[in-house]
Structure 1
Amino acid sequence: MMTQIAALTDRAVLRIGGGEARPFLQGLLTNDVDALAPDKPLWAGLLSPQGKYLFDMILFDTGDTILADVPAARAPDLLKRLTMYKLRKDVTVAASDLKVFAAWDGESDAPYDPRLPGLGRRWMAESADTTATLADYIAHRLSLGVPDSDDYPVDRLMWLESNAVELNGVSFTKGCYVGQENTARMHHRDKLRKRLLPVLLTADPQEERSLRAGDREAGELISHHGGHGVALMRVEQAGEPLTLGGAAVTIEWPSWLGAGPRAE
């Protein structure tokens, strides 16, 4: 099978350098930046003090600097936020001209996507020979049930509701970071009541976003591409018959998420 290689044109790259770059990020992000290595990228979130999603990024270690693969539409806001946080630390944050690429269904020397190996390999470069489109990559990602940055409601989604535990986006053994208290409490004490789940649509939702289980609201459609979508669901209702605007909707519970809604 020919390797599929796509330029992820919805992503941008920030370059984070300086002598204190690693401890700076370690004190901000949900994952253990000390574990970052050239062959081991990390997915991490930057949260509000209340533990709600603000930004996410995939970090790459180049040896002398850290590159952050981020959603392009929000890269300027993230750059401003990191610049605000760094104060007088020996840290530099700047936009990069590098582009983000992904490869799947074949061979590549790049590291695996840290969220799920099935997503394929991921890297940054000035250019690459592509054999697929961004739409092809999105279809591949959705076939695995993995949400992405555009699926995370800003300042509404708790980080664990993004499936951060299952997709390797959080460390419960590192030191403090912004939003840690509520994230840790949710993990250790609370049952996760909502999470992002992949859904299969049987009709074009138009402007409809409310998923229903009978006469009860069960979730919110966040995004969709063709018949596949991502919804923020109440887990207790994910196993019930669901509709969106009167049309049937099916939860496509992914294998990486465990046994299914009745096991929650």
Structure 2
Amino acid sequence: MITDSRGAYSAFLNAQGKVLYDVFIYPTNYNHRWRTQIEFKNFQPIGQPPIKKGPAVDDPGFFIECDIKSAEALHDHIRRYKLSSKFHSRIIPKGEWDIWTLWDDHRLLLPDENEIGCTDTRAPNIGKRIAAYGGKKIGLEVPETVYNVRRILHGVAEGQDEILRGGNIAQESNVDYMGGVDFRKGCYVGQELTIRTHHTGVVRKRVLPVQIYRPEDPVPGKLTYDPELDFAALMPTEGGKNPNIHNLEGKGRAAGKFLRGVGNVGLALCRLEAMTPLEVEGKREDKSVPEFKLDVEGDEIRVKAFVPGWHLLGNATASRRAHVTASEA
């Protein structure tokens, strides 16, 4: 359970331990406007008749932020596990609350009673996450592309286009590194494989930031965004059509799968022993990494994966960052 006013990054898993939805969960009882003016007036869950007696203002309440594409599916998923529990839920209409991410902002996290949020633990110094009511301006607005580039350069995957629903276990999507798993907690859907993978320490694939470049260009030594090179626009990633990454000979199984990108940078699900110098099991004598390619619309482009430095901190640090603690229930 969440034990204080801070929100937390987390995920919903299926029984096989695969990630269904990546989310932020914010407790709302600490927010005056939420408790007294918004959530408890005319409460009518979607697809249900109005509730004559809605939640009381002191009842525990939570705001779950998810990819807008998955809101209805997540709502149905939560209701499926309701059983005999007494709780109400609804999908918040567009425009009622806005989600902001802040960086380079040194003010207090939650100075206003009309906001809820948390420090974003998904990567060091990536910023703060705030939900603000009714179109309130929190700071200077920038295009969403700026946010996506910054997130990609930090190696942070987000939403159904990058954390494919039911496609990968929590570790492969870096949910563990990003503070979304507390390995001290038990009794949750998908726990068995998540804990087993944690204790064996063997994760063969992870989502990593990648840089795309032309065959005639030198291999990049540092992940660098260049807005003039819009390779990502050529990638057919909609509808699960994510292009595979292969070695230059095009032989053997794919070394990775491109997920999403902006310009010349993106995120890809990479086989670690193929695309990075990292050791997965045992010793690795040859730590050189060959070049890899993507075939897009008949043209060949190159791709190189980069391991964020914070990945090397490992699960122990991620677990300590997590804001979720074991329930005594």
What are the residue-to-residue correspondences of 1:175-186 with 2, within 5 Å?
175-186=186-197
- List per-residue Cα deviations over 1:76-133 (Å, max 9, x = no partner): 1111111121122011111222121111123242231132342211111122324212
Structure 2 unaligned spans of 5+: 30-59, 110-117, 215-230, 237-241, 277-288, 315-329
Report whether the alignment pairs 1:251 with 2:305.
yes
Cα 1:84–1:213 change in 2 (3 A) is same
Q: Which has the higher strand share?
A: 1
Report whether the alignment pairs 1:53 with 2:19.
yes
SS in structure 2 of the partner of residue 253 of structure 1: coil
AA of the residue aligned to 2:243? R
SS in structure 1 of the partner of residue 129 of structure 2: strand
Residue pair 1:113, 1:119 contacting (<8 A) in 2 also: yes
Which of 41, 48, 68 in structure 1 is aligned with 2:7?
Answer: 41
SS in structure 1 of the partner of residue 66 of structure 2: strand
Tell me, in whole angstroms, the C-alpha distance in 2 between the residues paired with 1:94 and 1:45: 19
Please state how far the C-alpha of 1:211 moved relative to its aligned partner: 0.8
Report whether the alignment pairs 1:128 with 2:124.
no
Cα 1:177–1:103 change in 2 (3 A) is same
Tell me, in whole angstroms, the C-alpha distance in 2 between the residues paired with 1:76 and 1:90: 20
Report whether the alignment pairs 1:98 with 2:97.
yes
Report whether the alignment pairs 1:84 with 2:80.
yes
Tell me, in whole angstroms, the C-alpha distance in 2 between the residues paired with 1:72 and 1:35: 23
**Which moved further from structure 2: 96-105 or 202-211?**
202-211
Q: Percent identical across equivalent pairs?
A: 27
Please state how far the C-alpha of 1:251 moved relative to its aligned partner: 1.1
Report whether the alignment pairs 1:152 with 2:159.
no
Tell me, in whole angstroms, the C-alpha distance in 2 between the residues paired with 1:62 and 1:200: 40
Structure 1 unaligned spans of 5+: 1-33
Tell me, in whole angstroms, the C-alpha distance in 2 between the residues paired with 1:36 and 1:134: 32
Q: What is the root-mean-square deviation in Å for CA atoms of aligned residues?
A: 1.9
Residue pair 1:37, 1:60 contacting (<8 A) in 2 also: no
Which of 66, 69, 76 in structure 2 is aligned with 1:70?
Answer: 66
Q: Which residue of 2 aligns with 1:5?
A: none
Residue pair 2:171, 2:177 contacting (<8 A) in 1 also: no
Tell me, in whole angstroms, the C-alpha distance in 2 between the residues paired with 1:71 and 1:259: 27
Please state how far the C-alpha of 1:226 moved relative to its aligned partner: 1.2
- List per-residue Cα deviations over 1:62-87 (Å, max 9, x = no partner): 22411111111110111111112112
Tell me, in whole angstroms, the C-alpha distance in 2 between the residues paired with 1:131 and 1:71: 20
Tell me, in whole angstroms, the C-alpha distance in 2 between the residues paired with 1:161 and 1:233: 9
The runs of 4+ residues in structure 1 deviating greater than 6 Å are none
Q: Which has the higher helix share?
A: 1
**Across the two proteins, how many residue pairs are aligned to each other?**
226
- List per-residue Cα deviations over 1:31-83 (Å, max 9, x = no partner): xxx24421x32111111101111112101112241111111111011111111
Cα 1:259–1:56 change in 2 (3 A) is closer
Q: Which residue of 1 aligns with 2:122?
A: 115
The structure whose Rg is larger is 2
AA of the residue aligned to 1:137? Y
Cα 1:113–1:259 change in 2 (3 A) is closer
Q: Which residue of 2 aligns with 1:30?
A: none
TM-score (norm 2): 0.64
Please state how far the C-alpha of 1:167 moved relative to its aligned partner: 0.7
Tell me, in whole angstroms, the C-alpha distance in 2 between the residues paired with 1:46 and 1:73: 15
Tell me, in whole angstroms, the C-alpha distance in 2 between the residues paired with 1:36 and 1:165: 20
